[in-house]
Amino acid sequence: MTTFSAVVTTGIYCRPGCGAKPLAENVRTFELAAEAEAAGFRACLRCRPYRVAGPVGADAPELVCRAVQLIIAGVLDTGTEAALGRRLAVSPRHLRRLFHDHLGVTPDQLARSRRAHFARRLLDDSDLTVADVAFASGFGSLRQFNRDMKLVFHASPVELRGRRRKADRIAADGGLRMRLPFVAPLHWEALSAFLAERAVPGVESVRDGVYRRTISLDGEAGVLEVERGGDDHLLLTAHMPFWEGLIHVVDRVGRMFGVDADTAPAEAALADDPVLGPLLRKRPGLRVPGAWGFFEIAVEAVLSQYSVRTRVRRQLAALVEAVGQPVPGLEHGLTHLFPSAEVLAQADLAAARLPAATARTLRGLAAAVAADETLLDPGASLADCTAALTALPGIEQSTAQEIALRLGHADAFPATERTVEMQLLEHDVFAVAGRTAAAWHPWRAFAATHLIAAGTPSPAA
């Protein structure tokens, strides 16, 4: 876990490895940059701590982790702490108390810090105008942008742009490039193999070490490309119709690859496990993969419930071709946007040549998500999430767990997912799989990811 050192005598906080050498008695330690800022410290100009990943500790209560996921999704960009509390069924006072006790900041302070740090990175790395940076970073107005940047960085956006270093700017042949920092290591090969195995034909591709996909922003098409950029960051190239809300695009990409994840507690807890220990050592830094579109991965999980992977890919290709929105002129096999729940709920699935049982389950899922988008809400508890999914006709418990894993639930475990089953059989623990998986609590999603990675081939070039 990254910690930040704040020097009382200077009012500055630094990231690990900074060349500053303050006296130990003058140093305070904070787990989050936002916590240091809330205490009145400003970022060091030498080590620039806003440019490193600062994951929320995995040992925080589930409610706090769910609230953080909703903040990352933008709930507080235009909403209030009271609205966030209602989503989580707690009072805003209780929510603030939990945040103060476990993170040292209020929800609003965390959201403000995330927006300000993202804006500072855009001011450093891109040539977007100051106004574009403000709205790309989730600020509601230029006045709010200027106020918060001065509060966090003690300087105006124009002054901060003037201080950027020449080496920070990332040139791109079209689109906009950004670094996605992470705490090393991150096992890119295993993550990209996982996504390649589940890539939706026409919507996603993994070739030559680059993950690409189409996205829809207010009905307009865009394309994202992600690749390894260095030992401490991935490189995102975004081709978008507009830059407003870019912060949430980047956050969703970061969630896919787990750049903000703190894997240390899970690795420490499972390092001596006879099944998982060797797998962890083989793939250090493997993160639990998230998802760009929650409905998209739910559809893939439902199809996988009925069919083997090769057939699922054919079904996904037929589904996308039949009801997905075409996006002409793209390369790397990208041809369509993935259909929304509303479109799929009304679509004639006969063109996709799905078996009757599969089509019924898929149509029921689409109708349910179209009627209630919170069905796939990452802010729900694992128990509530899986209960809501299994209440839909045809969706089994393991399928619900597989969806929950991609939604970010740390203890989800799809016991009958085919690769998980095969790996448990290979390790001669399938007969006691339930007891074995129980011993992996509360890191079962991490355990399942390593099992799946062990049985997943590397993506073809």
CA distance 200 to 212: 11
CA distance 363 to 378: 22
In a domain, 56, yes or no: no
On whether both 410 and 449 belong to a single domain, the answer is yes
Residue 78: which CATH number?
1.10.10.60
In a domain, 375, yes or no: yes
Bigger pLDDT: 138 vs 425: 138
Q: In which residue are the tokens 């946007």 written? A: 337
User: Which of 131, 163, 195 is the C-terminal boundary of a domain?
Assistant: 163
pLDDT of 326 over the 90 cut: yes
pLDDT in tens, 127-151: 999 999 999 999 989 999 999 999 9
In a domain, 173, yes or no: no
Average pLDDT of the residues of the chain: 91
Bigger pLDDT: 24 vs 281: 281
In a domain, 171, yes or no: no
On whether both 98 and 244 belong to a single domain, the answer is no
On whether both 186 and 123 belong to a single domain, the answer is no
Mean pLDDT over 47-55 rounds to 81
On whether both 114 and 247 belong to a single domain, the answer is no
pLDDT at 461: 47
pTM of the model: 0.91
Residue of 107, 14, 96, 101 whose CA lies nearest to 69: 107
On whether both 407 and 317 belong to a single domain, the answer is yes
On whether both 235 and 128 belong to a single domain, the answer is no
On whether both 182 and 159 belong to a single domain, the answer is no
CA distance 408 to 66: 9
Chain CA centroid to CA 186, Å: 14
pLDDT in tens, 225-235: 999 999 999 99
On whether both 110 and 219 belong to a single domain, the answer is no
pLDDT of 39 over the 50 cut: yes
b/e map 63-77, b = 16+ CB within 10 Å: bbbbbbbbbbbbbbb
pLDDT at 58: 61
Bigger pLDDT: 94 vs 183: 94
pLDDT in tens, 302-325: 999 999 999 999 999 999 999 999
In a domain, 461, yes or no: no
Strand ranges across the sheet with 4-7 = 27-30, 4-7, 12-14, 42-43
Burial of 413 (0-12, 13-18, 19+ CB in 10 A): buried
On whether both 184 and 240 belong to a single domain, the answer is yes
pLDDT in tens, 257-275: 999 888 999 999 999 999 9
Instruction: Give the count of domains, the chain.
Output: 3
On whether both 82 and 43 belong to a single domain, the answer is no
In a domain, 168, yes or no: no
Supply the range of the domain harboring residue 115: 62-163
Confidence of residue 161 (pLDDT cuts 50, 70, 90): very high
pLDDT at 460: 56
Mean pLDDT over 353-360 rounds to 90
User: Which of 129, 163, 197 is the C-terminal boundary of a domain?
Assistant: 163
On whether both 225 and 334 belong to a single domain, the answer is yes
